[in-house]
């Protein structure tokens, strides 16, 4: 298995604002050794952490993310919407998130969110940042729902660990995984079936399920052979995390 059994989703989205450096730090405090976060591009092609293509849900601004450039980031509050404690928490550059994860010893599932951006462009921009700011290829999985984006990424990096994201496992999943030389399959924890789990594991791929905030169901999936779970709240799975790590209040 490449990633960890419990993976902080969007950092630790139930405990701190999603896709922020504060969220990544919070995830590390819970004891996870891997985090997932989402990456897209601003209008000037700067890679940043953000799930949506609009600013409305997770910042103090509104409108499309593509209307911003990197000089707008210092004025943006990506934390106050979650809780006033995190007011003025910035929307992070990908480079800063990569450096922080390295400092904290975290592995990363970097999910590319293309939002209509050309596959070649977003794959190249992410690849360029990863090449400069990330030194542990074995602790990085690049995933995406969009096959074209992963194919483009593969063209830039022959050795990258790629993960195919699906809602439920489609018929052609193995063909896609083979043609990409992917290492992992990522499926919805609600939609994955017992047979899907067996099929993926028998074929030799890692299988990770999102987004599981129910420890009973999560542990059932792990027993069936799922390798890891993305969760917004890793403390729900405290018994599966190292016991010497402080849990946040």
Which residues bind to ligand G3P, rule: CB under 6 A? Answer: 9, 36, 38, 51, 111, 143, 165, 186, 210-211, 230
Q: Cβ 23 to Mg ion, closest distance in Å?
A: 12
Contact indicator for 15, 9 with CB cutoff of 8 Å? no
Select 30 or 109, whichever has its Cβ closest to ligand G3P: 109
Q: Cβ 90 to Mg ion, closest distance in Å?
A: 19
Q: Cβ 111 to Mg ion, closest distance in Å?
A: 4
Select 141 or 169, whichever has its Cβ closest to Mg ion: 141
Burial of 145 (0-12, 13-18, 19+ CB in 10 A): middle
Phi and psi at residue 172, to the nearest 5°: -90, 20
Select 20 or 211, whichever has its Cβ closest to ligand G3P: 211
- The residue ranges that bind Mg ion (CB under 5 A) are 38, 111
Select 9 or 154, whichever has its Cβ closest to ligand G3P: 9
Contact indicator for 24, 97 with CB cutoff of 8 Å? yes
Closest residue by Cα to residue 189 from 165, 156, 173: 165
Grouping H, G, I as helix, E, B as strand and the rest as coil, residue 27 is: helix
Q: Cβ 18 to ligand G3P, closest distance in Å?
A: 9
């Amino acid at each position: 298995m490449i990633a960890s059994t419990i993976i902080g989703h969007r950092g630790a989205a139930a405990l701190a604002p999603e896709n922020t450096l504060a969220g990544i730090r919070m995830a590390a405090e819970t004891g996870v050794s891997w985090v997932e976060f989402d990456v897209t591009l601003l209008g000037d092609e700067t890679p940043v952490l953000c799930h949506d293509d609009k600013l409305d849900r997770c910042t103090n601004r509104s409108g499309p993310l593509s209307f911003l450039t990197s000089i707008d980031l210092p004025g943006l509050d990506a934390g106050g919407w979650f809780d006033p404690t995190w007011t003025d928490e910035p929307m992070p550059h990908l480079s800063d998130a990569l450096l922080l994860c390295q400092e904290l010893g975290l592995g990363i599932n970097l999910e590319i969110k293309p939002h209509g951006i050309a596959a070649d462009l977003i794959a190249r921009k992410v690849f360029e940042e990863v090449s400069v700011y990330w030194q542990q290829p074995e602790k990085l999985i690049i995933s995406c729902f969009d096959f074209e984006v992963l194919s483009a990424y593969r063209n830039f990096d022959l050795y990258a660990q790629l993960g195919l994201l699906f809602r439920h496992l489609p018929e052609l999943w193995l063909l896609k995984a083979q043609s990409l030389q992917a290492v992992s399959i990522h499926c919805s924890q609600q939609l994955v079936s017992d047979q899907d789990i067996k099929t993926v594991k028998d074929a030799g791929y890692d299988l990770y399920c999102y987004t599981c905030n129910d420890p009973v169901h999560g542990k059932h999936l792990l027993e069936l052979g799922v390798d890891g779970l993305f969760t917004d709240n890793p403390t729900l799975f405290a018994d599966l995390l190292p016991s010497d790590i402080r849990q946040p209040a």
